[in-house]
Amino acid sequence: MLTKLQEQYAWDEARFVTETLVETTQGRKRIHLWQDETLLNWHILWRDRCSVTPYVLVDRMIRTTEGKPYLKWKHRYVTVHDDLQEHFPQKGREGTWGMLLASMIENGLGTNHVATEEAPAPRYAELSHSLSSMEEAERQMVRRLMTEASVREKKAGKLLRSTNASLPIMDRVEETKQAKTTFDVLVWYGTTARPERGYYSLVRFLKEWRQRNGEESLLRLLEGIPEKVILGEDQGALMLAEALKPYELNHVAECVGKCSAEDLKHEVKRALKEWEQTRGFVSLMANWLDQKKVTT
């Protein structure tokens, strides 16, 4: 493969550092192998569309000497990418992050059809059969959260029924470490996975941003998303509905019957902590959306 890569990408010298990293005369490159050509073509188009020159670039496939975004190798497809190391800042650069997310949402609403990854479903209802096996403290806490979970799920359903807006199809937004930088530009490194329909990973990303950087920082990031998307396309309501879905007890449902009593206690405590974090995030999102509606 190395010889073919050198020929196709005009590298004078190259050597594999790991199975996916190549040191070349043009810098270090990352190699991705793809089985599904349809998925690969979706990612190529997605990355080309989501860049916001000159502020945001999405990790595009480096073109071969023939101008192609990939090459074939033993019934698979190979793409080559720059391997940047420096992470893009978060605080103080929220507007640029907002541009990235806005571009993803807007392009996700117009993306072509492709097989998508399904988001997990809330599993709190499964716990009704396991309450009797829990210790009293955990049983009371889980029962209370289950009651609140039912209320939240109904609110999410009501929000979804209140709009005819379409959910975007987007590459997963998993963590801030996906953002690297060169020459003060945000370079977003996409995944090789099937895209998802909706806001499951993006809402988790925003919740984590709030925990790490605070509410003021999150609000500055959200302000980078145009009102025509948040209100005109009704995407704000869809994001809020996703935030309301009660996933926090999923780890508890997974643990019951498999974990020790001590591990179950840990999972219940984690669920309670995540629940409070979600409560704060939902309150912030709801207030922000209300203010947007008042000022438009």
pLDDT tens-digit profile of 201-235? 999 999 999 999 999 999 999 998 988 888 888 99
The predicted structure's pLDDT at residue 235: 94
Alpha-helix runs per DSSP H in 226-295 = 227, 235-244, 250-255, 261-295
Q: Which residue, 252, 237, 70, 48, is CA-closest to 160?
A: 237
CATH 3.30.200.20 in the chain, residue ranges: 2-48+55-82
Q: How many CB atoms lie within 10 A of CB 168?
A: 23
The stretches in the chain having pLDDT less than 70 are 112, 296
Fold adopted by 94-295: Aminoglycoside 3'-phosphotransferase; Chain: A, domain 2 (3.90.1200)
Tokens standing for residue 36: 């599904």
Q: What pTM was computed for the model?
A: 0.93
CB 88 within 8 A of CB 215: no
The predicted structure's pLDDT at residue 114: 86
Alpha-helix runs per DSSP H in the chain = 2-9, 37-50, 94-109, 136-161, 200-213, 215-222, 227, 235-244, 250-255, 261-295
Tokens standing for residue 266: 């840990």
CATH 3.90.1200.10 in the chain, residue ranges: 94-295
The predicted structure's pLDDT at residue 296: 63
Q: What angle do CA 184, 188, 192 make, to 5 degrees?
A: 160
Q: How many CB atoms lie within 10 A of CB 184?
A: 11
CB 271 within 8 A of CB 196: no
CATH 3.30.200.20 is held by the domain 2-48+55-82: yes
Name, in order, each residue with C-beta under 8 angstroms of 288's C-beta and a sequence gap of 6 or more.
219, 222
CB 148 within 8 A of CB 278: no
The predicted structure's pLDDT at residue 113: 75
DSSP string, 130-163: TGGGS-HHHHHHHHHHHHHHHHHHHHHHHHHHT-
